A and B are shown apart, each in its own frame.
Chain A
């Protein structure tokens, strides 16, 4: 086919331009080390890289979360180790002081140490993190969780919620443990005691000023009739030196009626229904004295409700031991959580590695391939140039001399 001269020059120059463009592009890729100079070159691959990078960013966020949880657990572990030690010391002191070889002066010294340890425990329970947020307040992190009233009773003001943080797709861990979980209450005879109740009770028992605890026989439900449905009286005598005798009339003949009647009386006694077993309805009437040396009381009734007094020191030791065990349990729980977190960290690191490898395979240039390609393109360009140089010299005019 006939090719016009100007067409021949035009097409060659456009081929030359294309070829040098290709070389230029390859060179730019080699200099940046990336497969794509701009997303428009290969939009699908660019999208894939974006998606992979998004996954990588998620993994790194999960890793950050795990670090954060790990840090948090370390702090809690440190605090709970102290708590555990304190409770151990208190248990040892209680056992020693209860042995009978201690004089009242010795007991006073022990009690002083116990009270010091209790205050230490309170400040540990109200620990704050670097952001001045309370660690054991559940999600109410700006509320002081354990507050002591004028009577020295400590009440929990946090909530029982835990925040949960993501540590992977469809996987999460608890960030915090609320006070209700760490300083959990011990239940004795259907009545709940928190750590501070337990320690205060033990100290008071050693000093002989603990509130008297009296419990009745057990009854099938809180509505069981005690006196065939008829009203009856309770005879109460309160005080050590000059006891005050009071007759309390129980109008509703049920354990609940007894509790209501005692609480409504002016004796200063506090009564409640204690469930022995959480699963059943069996109850006892539990009565607490006013406290102090003069707070001891006697109570009797017809029908006989079988009131008997708890041995405060023995009960106290039992509760202290329970509390110490709770503290240990909490500490063990933290340890378990930490190992779970570490495991998750390992898993995440592996995933991170895998994703980074994938990203690199999609994103990074294969130098060997690129350089080979570059040389072949250069050779092609040189061939094009030299062939064009030769062909362009071929003109009939050269022979018309």
Chain B
């Protein structure tokens, strides 16, 4: 009976506990994360009676959680993937709604802008229409800025959400670590508290929605969590410890958000974050959103540039070239090394041209100094205050430090081009709208033909390029170039870029050398040099000439108003008086040693022909050298005398000096010496320079040469008074001489002095330009000098009768801006149509024919960015003048070109402005659409996972009801067993009574 009773009792106990479990299931039916529990019973060990085993009832083995590890993992996986789509869908919809809406988007404003431009073209003089167009320009830029602002708002919201998600991840990770701690004391997973396990699974599930994770569970049921794809660096939960992650976000859309592990300690970047909300947000922020902002900026920049190009190439109502219709400016972003604190400074751009992309400013508290590093040089700035608060001006920026800085705190400033954020209308009133063409064509009233011309002007129109070295580039570098050049009569050695100022190309050539320098324009106008025998060799052998141009020698070697564009070119030598010199100080120049020429012919020789050289515009007389007497050999003395004979006209006086300088080291004491053929007595016994000087001096009356001691332990031989500049012949009694110099005749130098400029010109003799070596006779290296502004690119040829090598020194001092070039687009140019299908282009200001070319009626004439086309071919004798389009407010050429831009393919892929903008919106829309499709697919997967998981772990009331009935009945049956046992017991009691 005791057996029956105990069996019954054990069963009652089991079923009571089973019923409790069912009740608990029902009670927690709606508890989030609750896993259904089940009571598992087991039979007690039977007792052995004789040969039989009699059962002893049942007992509760354990209460299990209905849990499937695989299904849980599956659920987490699909949850991560599903949640990663949400940010892209939400934000792409928001962006599409902002940008694609006909009200808030740009499409309507663009239409209005172009439409108002079109309307203005119907009455360009109307002030009212001008104001309307200006207003629609204003509304267009304000729309652009507002879209830019909305995009910035999206960036800010995405950044904010990213930070929130990162915080949530950190919180969940620390909760997981805490739960791990709670469970750590229990060695077996099976015996873990199911409530803790449920909490753990719920946390993991929630975490998987935030970011994709990899979960490792150990035998005790403790979990380690790492961010999927990040490897060990991405471990966020390890046993009872959690590790924070952080995110660096930037308001600037083009800078990517960066997730890193352990941001407060040894920060490790985690670039491969994927899945979950965080993965979705990061990919949205760093890809789709960034691209949209960049694309929009590119669109705005491209649009503004195209409009500005037209507008600044047009004429406004005040007869001025148009300003920038749309102005944009860079913005500055600051990042402090102390990321947690508020930004300690602000900065504005004061000079765009001088900015650098990035700049570091570091505060040194002890020195009260800032270190500015711009990648080029380090600069120190003293602070006005002890805390660093104040302003620094550097690299085109004004940085205003507003908060106290900590020592060595670094602020990184980035200058970013954000056209969409900063665009504004660059003109203030309607009259500044450049509605008219900048240039116009005047048809000569005497024209026989009735052809009309249309012109367009584009200063950036591509031009043919000259070959060789760009001398203009010297401006930004060394400013001087030394080069050994092989002469070439066809190919240019280099070219002088338009705008080069203070240019010179100087040759180092000996007397008798036949090298020249030729200058020629791209239009075949020969400025300087000798006309080649076959000009067509130049034109056909060189690709740098403009198409169809003819050779012109009209301006060859001409000066003054006869010169090409009245350009002052010196072929010879030029030394302008330095502006540093005072009015009373003379302009001085010292030559090298002059050439000593000895006339060994039977008669006198004109060593320098009459008129071969000019000095300061005065043609110099012939330098006649007799065939006998002391002047049969030229010397500095005779040259000075020759020059001084004409100094009244030239304004240049010359002095001559001959000096031989010998150091003590050079001297060969013990040797003899002759000067000008006279033996110096006792020269061979001199043992010091001083003795030598005395012995030379003793005979100076005979030799005409005296000597004195220099300051550097040297001796200087020079002419005695009255003999200045004469040649000094040094000889020896037995080689070598005591001076240690070669036995030779030494010539002197010329010292030229003038009140203003010194300018030698090598002239044409008998119609042919002379050689630069003519100047070598005077000890002067000649070349080409252009002091003023080179008006257009000039090819520089170094030519010779037979190819030779020559040393060249080229200099360019500075470069003038385009506004100083001649002729300016506004300067009238005249086109004359000549017989033989030729046309000349004349600069009317200087009456210079700058080009003569063949005319092809099918092709436009293009000159310096001006494109001229004719409706039908002009007749011979017709002429046209292209001039500034002044006083023509009724002209709509400019505004019409702006209006026509609406349908023109100004963007990559032959898209017009409207299409390019729509594409940005569509790109975003397409990304959102793809995300939406993926979301729908992933939702199915997720729902399945949820259902599978809920099938395994969820509570079903019907099942619980059935269990309830089952256990209740079992309980009642067990109770009956107890009752039976009681009755049996009673029966026995009664039987024994």
Q: Are A68 and B954 in contact (CB under 8 A)?
A: no
Taking CB atoms, residues of chain B closer than 8 Å to A61 are 114-115, 118-119
A237 and B408 alpha carbons, distance in the complex (Å): 104
**Residue contact B922 to A139, C-beta cutoff 8 Å:** no
Known contacts A140-B887, A159-B888, A161-B888; is A4 also within 8 Å of B956 by CB?
yes
The 8 A CB mask of B109-124 against A (1 = contact, 0 = none) is: 0111011001101111
Q: A54 to chain B: which residues have CB within 8 Å?
A: 107, 110-111, 914
B118 and A40 contacting across the interface, CB-CB below 8 Å: no
A143 x B97 contact (CB < 8 A):
no
A396 sits at the interface (CB 8 A): yes
Task: Tell me the minimal C-beta distance from B144 to chain A in angstroms.
Answer: 16
A216-267 residues at the B interface, CB under 8 angstroms: none
In angstroms, how far is the closest chain B Cβ from the Cβ of A72? Answer: 8
Interface-side segment among B340-348, B620-628, B710-718, B892-900: B892-900
Q: Which residues of B contact A39 (CB under 8 A)?
A: 96-97, 100-101, 105, 921, 925
Interface pairs A-B: 7 shortest CB-CB: A4-B954, A43-B925, A39-B100, A141-B890, A40-B93, A396-B961, A139-B891
Least CB separation from A39: chain B residue: B100
Chain B residues, CB < 8 A from A400 = 961, 964-965
With a 10 A CB-CB cut-off, give which of A137, A140, A275 has the most chain B CB atoms: A140
Residues of B within 8 A of A269 (CB): none
Contact across chains for A40 and B92 when beta carbons are under 8 A apart: yes
Q: Is A348 positioned at the interface, with any CB of B under 8 Å from its CB? A: no
Query: In whole angstroms, how far apart are the Cα atoms of A251 and B962 in the complex?
Result: 139
Q: Residue of A at shortest CB range from B915?
A: A51
Q: How far is the CB of B130 from chain A (nearest CB, A)?
A: 11
Contacts of B954 in A (CB 8 A): 2-7
Q: Which of A162-170, A367-375, A378-386 contacts B (4 or more CB under 8 A)?
A: A162-170
Partner of B102, one of A50, A58, A160, A169: A50
Contact present for B896 and A58 (CB under 8 Å): no
Residue contact A5 to B29, C-beta cutoff 8 Å: yes
Can you list 11 A-B contacts with CB-CB less than 8 angstroms, sorted by A residue number? A1-B951, A39-B97, A46-B101, A50-B100, A51-B914, A57-B111, A64-B119, A161-B891, A163-B121, A163-B893, A164-B892
> Is B734 an interface residue when CB atoms closer than 8 A count as contact?
no
Contact between A7 and B30, CB atoms less than 8 A apart: no
Write the B891-934 contact mask toward A (1 if CB under 8 angstroms, else 0): 11100100110110000000000110010011011101100000
Complex Cα spacing A386 to B902, Å? 58
Interface set, chain A 1-29, CB cutoff 8 A to B: 1-7, 11
Complex CA–CA separation, A105 to B628 (angstroms): 102
Q: Does B946 contact A (CB under 8 A)?
A: yes
Given contacts A4-B955, A39-B101, A160-B443, contact A143 B946 (CB under 8 A): no
Question: Is B957 within 8 A of A2, CB to CB?
Answer: no
**Are B96 and A43 in contact, CB atoms less than 8 angstroms apart?**
yes
Given known A-B contacts A39-B96, A46-B96, A5 and B951 have beta carbons under 8 A apart: no
Task: Check A395–B888 contact: CB distance below 8 A.
Answer: no
Rounded to whole angstroms, the CA-CA distance of A397 and B125 in the bound complex is 89
Q: Does A175 contact B (CB under 8 A)?
A: yes
Mark interface residues in A269-296 (1 if CB within 8 Å of B CB, else 0): 0000001001100000000000000000
- The interface residues of chain B lying within 8 Å CB-to-CB of A50 are 100, 102, 105, 107-108, 914, 918
In the complex, chain A residues whose CB is within 8 Å of the CB of B118 = 61-62, 64-65, 165-166
Q: Does A47 contact B (CB under 8 A)?
A: yes
Complex Cα spacing A400 to B962, Å: 9
B414 at the interface (CB under 8 A from A): no
Residues on A with beta carbons closer than 8 Å to the beta carbon of B127: 131
Whether the Cβ atoms of A395 and B957 lie closer than 8 Å is: yes
Please tell me the size bucket of the interface on B.
Answer: 35 or more
Determine whether the beta carbon of B958 is less than 8 Å from that of A395: yes
What 0/1 pattern do residues 937 to 974 of B give for CB contact below 8 A with A? 00000010011001101111111011011000000000
Q: How far is the CA of A222 from the CA of B592 in the complex (A)?
A: 61
Q: How far is the CB of B906 from chain A (nearest CB, A)?
A: 15
CB of B212 within 8 Å of the partner chain: no
Q: Does A53 contact B (CB under 8 A)?
A: yes
B875 / chain A contacts, CB cutoff of 8 Å = 279
Q: Is B436 an interface residue (CB 8 A)?
A: yes
In the complex, chain B residues whose CB is within 8 Å of the CB of A155: none
Partner of A141, one of B889, B903, B958, B959: B889
CB distance from B237 to the nearest CB of A (A): 28
In the complex, A322→B950 CA distance in Å? 103
Docked complex Cα distance between A40 and B892 (Å):
40
Say whether B448 faces chain A, with CB atoms less than 8 Å apart: yes
Contacts of B108 in A (CB 8 A): 50, 53
The verdict on B440 contacting chain A, using a C-beta distance below 8 Å, is yes
Contacts beyond the supplied A2-B959, A4-B36: 7 A-B pairs with Cβ under 8 Å? A5-B957, A7-B954, A40-B92, A44-B925, A65-B119, A137-B890, A166-B118
Chain B residues positioned under 8 Å from A397 (CB to CB): 957, 961
Contact pattern, A 32-76, Cβ under 8 Å of B = 1, otherwise 0: 000000111001101101110110011011101100110000000
Contact A163 B891 (CB under 8 A): yes
Question: Are A1 and B947 interface neighbours, CB within 8 A?
Answer: yes
Complex Cα distance A278/B92, Å?
70
With a CB–CB cut-off of 8 A, which chain A residues contact B442?
159
Name the residue on A nearest B107 (C-beta). Answer: A50
A321 within 8 Å of B (CB atoms): no
Encode B21-35 as 1/0 by CB contact (under 8 A) with A.
Answer: 000000001100000
From 137 to 160 in chain A, residues with beta carbon under 8 angstroms from any chain B beta carbon are 137-143, 159-160
- Determine whether A176 belongs to the interface, using a CB cutoff of 8 Å to chain B: yes
- A209 lies within 8 A of chain B by Cβ: no
Contacts of B951 in A (CB 8 A): 1-4
Asked if B807 is an interface residue, CB under 8 A from chain A, the answer is no
CB contact between A166 and one of B899, B915, B928, B965 (< 8 Å): that residue = B899
Task: Judge whether A133 is part of the interface by a CB distance below 8 angstroms.
Answer: yes
Option from B100, B102, B896, B922 in Cβ contact (under 8 Å) with A165: B896
Contact A3 B950 (CB under 8 A): yes
Residues B122 and A165 in contact, CB atoms below 8 Å apart: yes
Residue among A161, A165, A278 with the highest chain B CB neighbour number at 10 A: A161
A40 to B107, CA, bound (A): 15
Please report the C-alpha to C-alpha distance between residue A54 and residue B889 in the assembled complex, in whole angstroms: 29
Determine whether the beta carbon of A131 is less than 8 Å from that of B125: yes
Asked if residues A163 and B924 are in contact (CB atoms below 8 Å), the reply is no
B604: Cβ under 8 A from any A Cβ: no
Question: B804 an interface residue at 8 Å Cβ cutoff?
Answer: no
In the bound complex, how far is the Cα of B115 from the Cα of A157, in angstroms? 32
Tell me the complex Cα distance, A160–B124, Å. Answer: 17
Given A3-B951, A43-B925, are A140 and B888 neighbors across the interface (CB < 8 Å)?
yes
Is A176 in contact with B30, judged by CB distance below 8 angstroms? no
Q: Is the pair A46, B125 in contact by a Cβ cutoff of 8 Å?
A: no
B111's partner among A5, A53, A161, A176 (CB-CB below 8 A) is: A53
Residues 855-898 of B contacting A (Cβ, < 8 Å):
875, 885, 887-893, 896
Once bound together, how far apart are the Cα atoms of A58 and B962, in whole Å?
75
CB nearest to B447 among chain A residues: A278
Complex interface: chain A residues within 8 A of B448 (CB): 275, 278-279
Q: Which residue in chain A gives the minimum CB-CB distance to B121?
A: A165
A5 to chain B, nearest CB (A): 5
Q: Is the CB of A47 within 8 A of B918?
A: yes
- Expressed in whole angstroms, the Cα–Cα distance for A166 and B915 within the complex equals 21
Shortest CB-to-CB span from B547 to chain A, Å, is 29
Complex Cα distance, B914 from A51, in Å, reads 7
Q: Is the CB of A133 within 8 A of B100?
A: no
CA distance A143 to B891 in the complex (A): 13
Q: How many Å lie between the Cα of A39 and that of B101 in the bound state?
A: 6
- When distances are taken between beta carbons in the complex, the residues of chain A under 8 Å from B29 are 5-6
Can you name the residue of chain A whose Cβ is closest to the Cβ of B28? A6
Would you give the shortest CB distance from B73 to chain A, in whole angstroms?
A: 19
Q: How far is the CB of A327 from chain B (nearest CB, A)?
A: 20
A396–B958 touching, CB < 8 Å: yes
Chain B residues lying within 8 Å of A47, measured Cβ to Cβ, are 100, 918, 921-922, 925
Q: Taking the nearest CB of chain B, how far is it from the CB of A252, in angstroms?
A: 20
Chain A nearest Cβ from B728, distance in angstroms: 67
How far is B100's CA from A88's CA once the two chains are assembled, in angstroms? 62
